[in-house]
Structure 1
Amino acid sequence: MGNLLDNVKDYISENVKAENLTFGENLFINFYPDEPDLIVSVIDLGGYPPDLYAPTREKVVEIKFRTSTYEEGSVLGNEIMELFHSKENYHLGEIRVLHSYARTDVNYLYKDKNENEELVLELVFLIKK
C-alpha cells in the first residue's frame, strides 16, 4: 500500500511553492532537528481505531515547522493545509485517500532559542485499506 508519511512528504516537496523543501536537508519524517532554521517535519500521530465494518483507516499526521518569522510560517502552513484540506477521492502514491482535512488550523507554538517561530498543523486522512 505504500507509506502515508513518505507520500505526504513527497507531495509537500513537489507542491509547496513558498519554500524549497528537500528531504534530508529541511524536510523530515518523524524527526525534528534543532537545525536548520527552516524545517518541515511530517510526524505520525497514529489515528483512530479501525472501523469494524468499513475497509478504511483514519490516520492523523502532524506537520511541524520552523521559519524565521511568523508571517513566513503562516504562509507556509496555510499552503500545506490547502494541499490536503477538504480534498476527496485522490491518490497519494499508491494510497487511495477517500477524504482528507485539517483537524487544526495553523497553530503557533513558541519561539525557539534562535528566535525562530515554531508552528504546527494536524491533518487527517481517511484511507482505503
Structure 2
Amino acid sequence: MHIQVEEILQKYESAAIHYGLASLEFNSTKTNEWHDLLINCYLQLRSKSNESVLLLEKFLSHQNEYLVLWASSHLLPYSEKIAIHTLNFLAESDSMVSIEAKYTLLEWEEGSLSLDYPGYKIDEST
C-alpha cells in the first residue's frame, strides 16, 4: 500500500475518533474541526482510487463506534451491502451513534445522502 494512503487512513481514524469525543463533550468548535479533517481525508482517498476508499473497510470492526459510523457511511457508494449491514447493526444497538446510523440509512434509501461534500476542497497539507 502506498505510504501516502496509509497516512491518510491514520488521519481519518484519528479524526473520526476525536470527532466522537468532541461530540460527547458538546464542543461544537472541535467537532467541526475534526469533521473538516475527516471529510478532507475521505476526499483525498476518493481522489486516489475506489480501492483507496475500500480500505476503510478495515475500520468496520473497530471498537470506536464513531469511526465505524463514518467509515460505513463513506463506504455506501463503494461497498453498499457491507456498509448497510454495519449501519443497521449500529442503528439497532444502544450505542451513542444509533440515531445517526438510522438517519444515514434513511437518507441513503431515499437517495438524499450526498457524499460529494460540495464546498470542500482537498487540502493535502493536512
TM-score by length of 1: 0.30
Give the number of the structure whose residues are more often strand, by fraction. Answer: 1
- Whose helix proportion is higher, 1 or 2? 2
TM normalised by structure 2 equals 0.30
Larger Rg over CA atoms: 1
